[in-house]
Amino acid sequence: MPSICFYFEVHQPFRLHRFNFLDIGSGRSYSDVPQDRAVMEKVAEKCYRPMNALLLELIQAHGGKFKFTFSLTGTVIDQFSMYAPDVLESFQALARTGCVEFLDETDSHSISALFSEEEFRDQVSRHRRRMEELFGQSPKAFRNTELIYSDAVARMVENLGYETMLTEGADHILRGRSPRHVYAPADCQKLKLLLKSYSLSDDIAFRFSNRSWPAWPLNADTYAGWLSRLQGNGDVIGLFMDYETFGEHQWADTGIFEFMRALPGKVLALPDFDFLTVSEAAARYPVREVINVPAPISWADAERDLSAWMGNDMQKDALEALYACRPLVQELDDPDTSRTWRRLQTSDHFYYMSTKCASDGDVHQYFTPYGTPYDAYTNFMNVIADFRLRLQYTLRQRAGSARNDALPHVSLTEPL
C-alpha cells in the first residue's frame, strides 16, 4: 500500500534594518518591523488563512483520511503572535483534528548543528516546549533546518530521543536506490529516515505555474496518475515543500488551491493508496537499508549541499563572526540578548549572501530583500559589529569597568 506523506515547512525570518557603518554604536534597533509586519500580512492573506481553511475542509470532507505534517519555526510562531494571532489559532484548530503531526526543528531556523551541538540541543529543546504548549504534541520526529543532514547530525538527533528524521532524497547519496523507502542512518540504533521525493515535490512547489513546462497546466487527475504508476515501487512518497508554495510562491490564479482541493479525493480513489503523517509512515513500513551520508546534504539548489549558506567567503566570514559571539552571549546570560543572537542565526541571512547563478541564483534572488549579495553581507556584518560592541560593553559595565554612557540594549523584537 503506497502512502502519501505531505510535509509542509512554515517559516518567516526576522528581517534586518538597513544598518550602515555609522549606525554601529548608535543604539538603533536591528529589526525591520514594518517589513516583517507587511510580509506577514501579505502571506497570511495569500497563503496561511486560505490554505489552513482548505486543509481543515479536506480533513472533514474525507472523514479524517487526509493527513499531513507541519513544521513551524519559532520565528514564524513569534510573528504569528505579533501580527496574525488568528493564523496561529487556525494551526491549533488543525492540530485538534488528530490528523496533523507537528515536527520539531531548531527554534531559530539555524544551522547550529554544524557549529555547536550544545547550541543545537538548546534550540531544539526550546522548539519542543513550544509544540507542547501550543499544539499539545510532544514530537517524536525531527526535521533539521533546510533538511540539512549527515551521519553526525543523525547521531545528535537520535541522542535527543527522536525516532524519525526527514532529509532530501539526493541522488548522489541514494546511488540508484529509491527515495520511496524508509532508511536507517549509519551508526544509529533506532532512528529512521524518510526522504523527500524531490521530483514529484518540485512539480508542485516550483514547476506548477511554469507555462514552458510540458506538463503545464498540471491538474489533480494527471498528478494522481503519476502517483498511481509508482505502486509496487516504494512504500512512502514524501512530498516535502515550503507551505508558502500555496498562494505565495504559486499564486491563487495558477489554480494551486483548486489542485489541492481535488488531489486528496483523486489519491484516495486509487486502490490501496492512503495519506499518513511522518511518524505513522515510519511506524508502518520497515527499514529497507542503511544509508551513509558522511558529508552534509540539504534540500536546497541543484547541488543539495551546504553551498546555499556556506558557498562563498562572505557567507563563511559572516558565520564565523556570528558564532564567535557565542562565548560572550553565554557569559552575559541575558534572555533578550540570547534571543537576539539566535535570530541572527536564522539561515535566511546567509542565504541572501549567495552568489550563485543560473536557476539557483534566480531562486535566491526571489527571496532576498537586498539588491546584491554584498549588500546582504555588509548589512549583516555591521549588525554583528554593533552586537559584539554591545556585548563587550555590557560585560565591562557589569564588571564595573565601563563608562557611564552605556549603549542602550536593543533586541530584535524592540519596536522602532
pLDDT tens per residue, range 179-236: 999 999 999 999 999 999 999 999 999 999 999 999 999 999 999 999 999 998 999 9
Provide the pLDDT for residue 182: 98
**Angstrom distance (rounded) from CA 81 to CA 86:** 9
Provide the pLDDT for residue 368: 87
Are residues 90 and 159 both part of a single domain? yes
Domain boundary among 243, 263, 291: 291
Residue 280 confidence (pLDDT) above 70: yes
Query: Regarding beta strands 287-291 and 274-275, do their DSSP bridges make them parallel or antiparallel, or are they unpaired?
Result: unpaired
Residue 412 confidence (pLDDT) above 70: no
Are residues 275 and 366 both part of a single domain? no
Domain count, the chain: 2
Instruction: Answer whether residue 413 is part of any domain.
Output: no
Instruction: Answer whether residue 361 is part of any domain.
Output: yes
Q: Which residue type is seen at 226?
A: W
Instruction: Answer whether residue 301 is part of any domain.
Output: no
225 Cβ contact list (under 8 Å, min separation 6): none
Instruction: Answer whether residue 202 is part of any domain.
Output: yes
Are residues 240 and 316 both part of a single domain? no
**Angstrom distance (rounded) from CA 62 to CA 275:** 11
Residue with cell 486543509: 55
CB 65 within 8 A of CB 272: no
Residue 15 confidence (pLDDT) above 50: yes
146 is catalytic: yes
How long, in residues, is the chain? 416
Q: What percent of the chain has pLDDT over 90?
A: 89
Write out pLDDT tens, residues 350-405.
999 999 874 544 565 667 899 999 999 999 999 999 999 999 999 998 888 656 55
Are residues 370 and 224 both part of a single domain? no
Are residues 233 and 335 both part of a single domain? no
Are residues 86 and 160 both part of a single domain? yes
Query: Which helix (DSSP H) or strand (DSSP E) does residue 275 occupy?
Result: strand 274-275
Are residues 104 and 174 both part of a single domain? yes
**Average pLDDT of the residues of the chain:** 94
Provide the pLDDT for residue 359: 53
Domain boundary among 257, 291, 325: 291
Instruction: Answer whether residue 394 is part of any domain.
Output: yes
Provide the pLDDT for residue 39: 97
**Angstrom distance (rounded) from CA 399 to CA 56:** 55
pLDDT tier at 1, thresholds 50, 70, 90 = confident
Provide the pLDDT for residue 145: 98
CB 81 within 8 A of CB 134: no
Are residues 271 and 346 both part of a single domain? no
Instruction: Answer whether residue 303 is part of any domain.
Output: no
Are residues 261 and 210 both part of a single domain? yes
Angle at 110 between CA 104 and CA 116, to 5 degrees: 95
Provide the pLDDT for residue 332: 94
Look up the CATH number of the domain holding residue 166: 3.20.110.20
Mean pLDDT of 278-296: 97
Instruction: Answer whether residue 298 is part of any domain.
Output: no
Which residue is catalytic, options 119, 146, 244, 280? 146
Domain boundary among 238, 259, 291: 291
* CA distance between the termini of the chain: 55
187: containing domain: 3-291
C-alpha cell belonging to residue 407? 549603549
H-helix segments, 325-372: 326-332, 335-344, 348-351, 358-367
Write out pLDDT tens, residues 323-336.
999 999 999 999 99
Are residues 274 and 385 both part of a single domain? no
Are residues 268 and 379 both part of a single domain? no
Provide the pLDDT for residue 402: 57
Provide the pLDDT for residue 361: 47
Mean pLDDT of 60-82: 98
Provide the pLDDT for residue 175: 94
Mean pLDDT of 17-46: 94
pLDDT tier at 415, thresholds 50, 70, 90 = very low
Instruction: Answer whether residue 379 is part of any domain.
Output: yes
Are residues 273 and 324 both part of a single domain? no
105-109, 205-209, 283-287, 367-371: least confident range: 367-371
